[in-house]
Structure 1
Amino acid sequence: MTYDVEALRARIPALRAGVAHFDGPGGTQTPAPVIAAITDALSNPLSVRGSAAPGEINAETIVRDFRRAMADLLGAEDTGIVVGRSATQLTYDFSRVLARSWAPGDEVVVSRLDHDANIRPWVQAAERAGAVVRWADFDPATGDLSAASVGALLTDRTRLVAVTAASNLIGTRPDMAAIAELVHRAGALLYVDGVHFAAHAFVDVAELGADFYVCSPYKFFGPHHGVLAASPRLLETLRPDKLAPSTDAVPERFEFGTLPYEALAGTRAAVDFLADLAPGPTGDRRARLRSAYAAIEEHETVLRESAEHALSQLDGVTRHSRAALRTPTMLLTFDNRSALDAHHFLARSQVHAPAGSFYALEASRHLGLGDAGGLRVGLSPYNNADDVERLFAGLSAFLRA
């Protein structure tokens, strides 16, 4: 059994509209089983979690199944899975908690490759604590962020390093294991933004060396909310502000208010949907996810290489995504033409490739693109060869116009 992209597309209702979607880095389209899981959660009795009334039991079951699914997806423990409104909100929450132990003269390392959600919370927390912020730069010519560039910034005063596992702007995938080894050797913690990475690659938080790993299910077929994975033992050492009556148990200690049960039900369904993409039916969910991501990476790599070859035939187009290891996400700029104009032109022929810096403001500036960024072409598991042909035809027409 091989990867069947057409069977996958048939299970995503939004694709019936005929749009060729290259906006996956901003959020994938939603499969029917995920929509059904959300509907089912809201169609049955639902209340605050408990063990007596049907609504209580349903809520408890949804949360339990969600944590187990995300633990399988990330290679984490289910008691280390924290729910948040978004990855940004989770990072702000944890930056405030972790910064309580920082003192003037301590150091925090952030990367110019990152989405601002993994930069600004740490910069602001460091400023309040009197800590020093050190910046890891990537090579603008290749897009690569080397472990050595991060390691050169580490000292015995480094308390935390925040680095993305994959750039949402240009797709670069740094060597996280090598970075983690240097960070931990320095006695610091590693906070990994895995939002873009989790949409394209099999995640193992232990292999990555992440002390904290944050992601967003809506990037991999799920609903809009955030998820953080960490060791329960590490979470036990952290004391966030919380309401007096709320539980102090981990991971609930970090979850404020009633959880969005319908979103958690949808996320569980999204993980199962991903597992169902495995070329074979054997193995537990974690094993099937590993197989599914291998198939997704192979499919997306073929499409990326096809798209890159086609784009190389166009004059006046610069591709800024050239890292040795990268996701199928390409940032394009045009000689004497606006990326925003390209976005609008393509949209008229139902090809959706958005333009901007996509909150990767430091990366866009480091590439010499200012705050404008470029046209982002992001492939997803449901893209096919016809989508790539439509993109090429649209850009060809735009450059002739």
Structure 2
Amino acid sequence: MPYDVDAVRARFPALAEGAAHFDGPGGSQVPDVVGRAVADTLTSAISNRGTVTPSERRAEAVVTDARNALGDLLGADPRGIVFGRSATQLTYDLSRALAKQWGPGDEVVVTRLDHDSNIRPWVQAAEAVGATVRWVDFDPVTGELSAEAVADVLSERTRLVATTAASNLIGTRPPVCRIADLAHEVGALHWVDGVHATAHASVDLPALRADVWTCSPYKFLGPHCGVVAASPELLEGLHPDKLLPSTDAVPERFELGTLPYELLAGSTAAVDFLAALADTDALGEPGHPLPDAGHDTRRERLVAGMKALHAHEQALLDVLEPALRDLPGVTVHSNAAKRTPTLLFSVDGRDPQEVRSALAERGVNAPAGNFYAIECSRHLGLGDAGAVRVGLAPYSSQDDVARLLDGLREVTR
């Protein structure tokens, strides 16, 4: 069925403000059902998790539902889904737990393509135990991170390889499966930052062969929290610092303190909305619950929904990208063969923040900076200032693209 972007947009109250949002890579707008799930959970009778009172059981159900939802989204075992404040926080926490198994002579691999949240925690954890950090560069012209470049730094002393599934700055999607195989050949774990990738492509953790996958629901229509997905068996072998009376069960041993039940409920609603993109004609009326899902499993609907989303975003990108590249004085830095619908560009003689402000005056939200991918920005020759980034989302429309291009034509004239 055709992707009905008007039906999708009708479920996003924030769009009534009128801006054309290209800031999704930093955090997407939220559909009404997600906001309602958060509000309903906050205002319901709810307690700490348990089985005795209705409010305890409600909290338990929220957590169970969220683990199942993220398991369906990522093709992962729900028993290996860990929730935290952010992907950055979870990476820091688990890096310290993993580093307890490292020592002098051990090696950790990071890349200059990554967001700093998949670099600095590993660098600092390695330094704390005397391990060595090996750096992998990407091609600054093509934006490609090759498996061969990763293979060149691996050895029998490699303990962990940290790579992104998609660059949040330039959209590059490295060969995750091949890198995972290379890491496993030397006995290392493969940790994948999937924060940017999860919003744009169907994820199947076993098929990707990655050991750990991180993501953030607020990048794919949900509330602000973070997720780690791994096998329960892998998590059983890690022992984070925790409070004495807190449970040692997996995955709870990694979830420090009481979970934010309202954010987990919102995350479940976001996953359900992504599944509904498989049939946008049946999204239902704004302000109402999503219609009955039918007979297909949520996992099946998610795979179909992400396929429909990819086709929608690609159609818009096919209009946006060539027009952007044709603008005088514009340099596009997103050049990899396989990418998300995310474009980083600069305008000759114009500070990126100046371009951002000029677009904002025209009702177009297109932020500028290095977006915490500071090593990537520097390697591209953009320094810490970075450039302007535009990203497509489920609610992006042809009108949005036209407004962006019209604004840039005025800016570059």
Counting matched residue pairs gives: 400
Paired residue for 2:301, among 273, 288, 312?
288
Q: Who is 1:319 aligned against?
A: 332
Distance in structure 2 (CA, Å) of the matches to 1:303 and 1:136: 32
Deviation track 1:262-299 (CA, whole Å, cap 9, x = no partner) reads: 00000000000110111385520000000011111111
Deviation track 1:110-136 (CA, whole Å, cap 9, x = no partner) reads: 010000000000000111111111111
- Greater displacement, 304-313 / 101-110: 304-313
Paired residue for 1:308, among 313, 321, 329?
321
Q: How does 1:176-255 map onto structure 2 within 5 Å?
A: 176-255=176-255
AA aligned to 1:305 is: D
Q: How does 1:19-34 map onto structure 2 within 5 Å?
A: 19-34=19-34
AA aligned to 1:185 is: E
Distance in structure 2 (CA, Å) of the matches to 1:105 and 1:264: 40
Distance in structure 2 (CA, Å) of the matches to 1:283 and 1:152: 44
Paired residue for 1:370, among 370, 383, 408?
383
Distance in structure 1 (CA, Å) of the matches to 2:23 and 2:325: 21
- Greater displacement, 94-103 / 303-312: 303-312
Q: Quick check: 1:117 aligned with 2:117?
A: yes
Paired residue for 1:354, among 350, 367, 373?
367
**1:381 Cα shift?**
1.2
Deviation track 1:345-394 (CA, whole Å, cap 9, x = no partner) reads: 00011100000000000000000000011000111111011100000000
Tell me, what secondary structure is at the counterpart of 2:278? coil
Deviation track 1:202-255 (CA, whole Å, cap 9, x = no partner) reads: 011112221111100000000000000000011011111111111111000101
Distance in structure 2 (CA, Å) of the matches to 1:127 and 1:42: 42
Distance in structure 2 (CA, Å) of the matches to 1:310 and 1:232: 47
Distance in structure 2 (CA, Å) of the matches to 1:28 and 1:312: 25
Alpha-carbon contact 1:46-1:56 (below 8 Å) kept? yes
Alpha-carbon contact 1:38-1:266 (below 8 Å) kept? yes
Q: Who is 2:288 aligned against?
A: none
Q: How does 1:251-270 map onto structure 2 within 5 Å?
A: 251-270=251-270
**1:313 Cα shift?**
2.3
Alpha-carbon contact 1:300-1:380 (below 8 Å) kept? yes
Q: Who is 1:79 aligned against?
A: 79
Paired residue for 2:396, among 383, 386, 400?
383
Tell me, what secondary structure is at the counterpart of 1:191? strand
- Structure 1 runs not aligned, ≥5 long: none
- Greater displacement, 259-268 / 39-48: 39-48
Distance in structure 1 (CA, Å) of the matches to 2:134 and 2:363: 43
Distance in structure 1 (CA, Å) of the matches to 2:279 and 2:336: 28
AA aligned to 1:339 is: P
Give the TM-score normalised by structure 1. 0.99
Deviation track 1:300-353 (CA, whole Å, cap 9, x = no partner) reads: 111112101111221100000010100000000111111110100000111000
Q: Who is 1:335 aligned against?
A: 348
Q: Who is 1:163 aligned against?
A: 163
Alpha-carbon contact 1:282-1:288 (below 8 Å) kept? no
Q: Who is 1:91 aligned against?
A: 91
Distance in structure 1 (CA, Å) of the matches to 2:95 and 2:237: 14
Return closer, same or farther for 1:340/1:271 CA change in 2, 3 Å cut-off. Answer: same
Tell me, what secondary structure is at the counterpart of 1:377? strand
Deviation track 1:64-89 (CA, whole Å, cap 9, x = no partner) reads: 10000000000111110001100000
AA aligned to 1:46 is: I
AA aligned to 1:371 is: D
Distance in structure 1 (CA, Å) of the matches to 2:337 and 2:87: 27
Q: Who is 1:45 aligned against?
A: 45
Distance in structure 2 (CA, Å) of the matches to 1:311 and 1:248: 53
AA aligned to 1:290 is: V
AA aligned to 1:26 is: G
- Structure 2 runs not aligned, ≥5 long: 281-293
- Greater displacement, 335-344 / 304-313: 304-313
Distance in structure 2 (CA, Å) of the matches to 1:76 and 1:180: 16
User: How many percent of aligned residue pairs carry the same amino acid?
Assistant: 62
Deviation track 1:31-86 (CA, whole Å, cap 9, x = no partner) reads: 00001111111121011001111210110010010000000000111110001100
AA aligned to 1:39 is: A
